[in-house]
Amino acid sequence: MKMIENERYLYPAASHEDEQQLFGMEMRALFGLEADSGCVIIGKNVDPSRSPFLRGRLKVLLTGDTPADIAGQAGNAVRLDGATFKITFVCGDLDYERQLAVEKEIGWAIQGKAEMRRPDRLFGAAYVRGRYWFGEYTASEPLWLKHNAKPQPYSTALGTRLARAATNIAVPVIDEGMRVIDPCCGIGTVLIEAMSMGIDIVGYDLNPLALKGARVNLAHFGMPDVVRRADMTTLEPGEEGPYDAAILDLPYNLCSVLPDEERLAMLRSARRLARRIVIVTTETIDEAIAEAGLRIADRCVVRKGKFERHILCCEGL
């Protein structure tokens, strides 16, 4: 039986098969490591609602070899002060009956009133890497699902899950004063995900119809108008210097291909605009990346049937 002295968190996590690479890349950005045994265990506090792949966050109070080890200390470790509580099994390779038994055994050891529907405090239990884990649990809120209901959608726009993950890869730590740019913002999918996480971001696009759609979508979700019309190749960092990050979804059309010269100009502009750049492309563009003076720090491919998008996290050479 062990009580946790330094803060430690367990994040249950999972992905669909076609998003497995994106899942790994986002975890590397947020935590510096990939999920193991269906979770990430680390001493870093991240809002689980940021990621489309995190199911929640368990702030670990106790670990033990058996549920009895946890129950033996839970009564002393948990002080409810009149609040109601609930215990839920959040992660681990146990069958449903065994999960219920773990919840019940630990729950009986806590002095207080259990409330299954609307508890004042939620606790989680997990069985990972041969040990049981227990602590206060925060469930993830899937905000990106609400953002699917845009009044102005577009057929080739990024999905909200991909847009949110790309934003997290570009901005793994949200600091005060951080500045982010989406120089080809389209209908505002990335802008909406970024602002919903409290990121200071601006968007530009050359297409006035896309900007009109972006403004409608931003207003629909109660977000400010942060978009302007501009050719990204004409944009400059400004007096404050380069942006901390850029998210560039290279223009894609089923009926046309972006000319090499235009794509290179956009990549060079992105290098000038930001220190860290996440590029979304439907093609392999490694040579153009190098020619633009960028280095690929991490990458993945997201597939949907035969269609694929390459996600590249780049830095200037």
Q: Assess contact for 229 and 205: CB atoms under 8 A.
A: yes
pLDDT, tens digit, for every residue of 250-282? Answer: 987 655 578 899 999 999 999 999 999 999 999
CA dist 108 and 141 (Å) reads 28
Give the residue range(s) of CATH 3.30.2130.30 domains in the chain. Answer: 2-139
pTM for the full model?
0.94
CA dist 132 and 250 (Å) reads 46
CA dist 251 and 158 (Å) reads 11
Q: Collapsing DSSP states into helix, strand and coil, what is residue 75?
A: helix
Tokens of 67: 């549920």
CA dist 14 and 93 (Å) reads 13
Q: Assess contact for 266 and 314: CB atoms under 8 A.
A: no
* Chain position carrying tokens 């207003």: 219
Q: Assess contact for 276 and 247: CB atoms under 8 A.
A: no
DSSP string, 255-274: TB---HHHHHHHHHHHHHHE
DSSP string, 118-179: S-SEEEEEEEETTEEEEEEEEE---HHHHTT--SS--TTSPPHHHHHHHHHHH-SS--TT--
Closest CA to 92 of 82, 104, 100: 100
Query: Terminus-to-terminus CA distance in the chain, angstroms?
Result: 49
DSSP 37: T
Kind and range of the H or E element at 107?
helix 96-109
Helix, strand, coil proportions of the chain in percent (round to 5)? 30, 30, 35
pLDDT, tens digit, for every residue of 281-317? Answer: 999 999 999 999 999 999 999 998 888 999 999 998 7
**Amino acid letter at 175?**
D
Q: Assess contact for 114 and 107: CB atoms under 8 A.
A: yes
Class of 143-316 in CATH:
alpha beta
Kind and range of the H or E element at 315?
strand 307-316
CATH architecture of 2-139: 2-Layer Sandwich (3.30)
pLDDT recorded at residue 251: 87
pLDDT, tens digit, for every residue of 46-74? Answer: 999 999 999 999 999 999 999 999 999 99
Tokens of 227: 């978009």
Residue 156 banded pLDDT, cuts 50, 70, 90: confident
Give the residue range(s) of CATH 3.40.50.150 domains in the chain. Answer: 143-316
Q: Assess contact for 106 and 70: CB atoms under 8 A.
A: yes
pLDDT, tens digit, for every residue of 68-124? Answer: 999 999 989 999 999 999 999 999 999 999 999 999 999 999 999 999 999 999 999
